[in-house]
A = this chain, B = another copy of it.
Amino acid sequence: MKARRKEKRALAGEIAEAIHMRAYRPGEWLRQIDLEEKFNATRFDVRSALDELAVRKTIEHVPNRGYRVAQLDTETYRAIRETRVILETAAVAEIVARMDEATIAKLKELAARFGAAVSAGTHMEQSQINGEFHHVFYSLCGNPVLEEMIWSLRDRSRGSAVTVWSSHESLLQSDRDHIAMIAALEVRDTAGLTRLIASHIIKDGL
């Protein structure tokens, strides 16, 4: 069965998710035939999705060779992190100003769920909850364009040479960071939150 209609434009997202999940590692070639079968899509859909991801710099296109997962050199990786610091710290001021009890509660819940997922969840659950946490956090800034750019850079960070999710240690670190961020946010410690986020990014990129 090939019951797809709405999935048409979502395929790019699915492939991006797979890359994010390290199903395809940086530098690896993405063969169109494999993707057709894996995602049960037509060749045309696969190509569209690949083109979109290439525009977003998630993957790289080499004429007559195909598409491969982007591999960031250290220079570009540094540039991305610097830009992320600029954007994410700039968002902090607005986030602190717009914060409310309901959102704090939601963040706390997500942080707790992340903590649980770290010890007893799948790779995908961890990533999904983590994404949700950061989404709720940054949507607080009240600037959809800024939020979108933060998200886009976050995606591009995946192709780094430094494997972020590989060790259990970094997951625990992320868990601690989440809690620290909420604490700073609760007492409206703008400077502290800024410092926290900056070091979080510089440290390893997530």
Contacts and interface: CB of A to CB of B under 8 A. Distances in A.
B90 A145 contact: no
A149 B83 contact: yes
Given A51-B51, A80-B145, 5 more contacts: A55-B56, A83-B143, A83-B145, A86-B90, A87-B87
Contacts of A90: 86, 90
A139 B79 CA distance: 13
Interface string A76-89: 10011011001100
Contacts of A56: 55
Q: Is the interface of A mostly helix, strand, loop or mixed?
A: helix
A143 B80 CA distance: 8
Nearest to A152: B149
Contacts of A41: none
A149 B86 CA distance: 12
A146 interface: yes
A82 B146 contact: yes
Contacts of A87: 83, 86-87
Range for the number of chain A residues in contact with chain B: 10 to 19
A66 interface: no
A83 B91 CA distance: 10
> Which of A51, A56, A143, A153 gathers most chain B CB within 10 Å?
A143
A48 interface: yes
A192 to B, nearest CB: 20
> Which of A51, A56, A79, A83 gathers most chain B CB within 10 Å?
A83
A56 B55 CA distance: 8
Contacts of A13: none
Contact of A79 (B76, B79, B145): B145
Contacts of A145: 76, 79-80, 82-83, 153
A28 to B, nearest CB: 23
Q: 6 nearest interchain CB pairs?
A: A79-B145, A86-B90, A55-B55, A83-B146, A79-B143, A83-B145
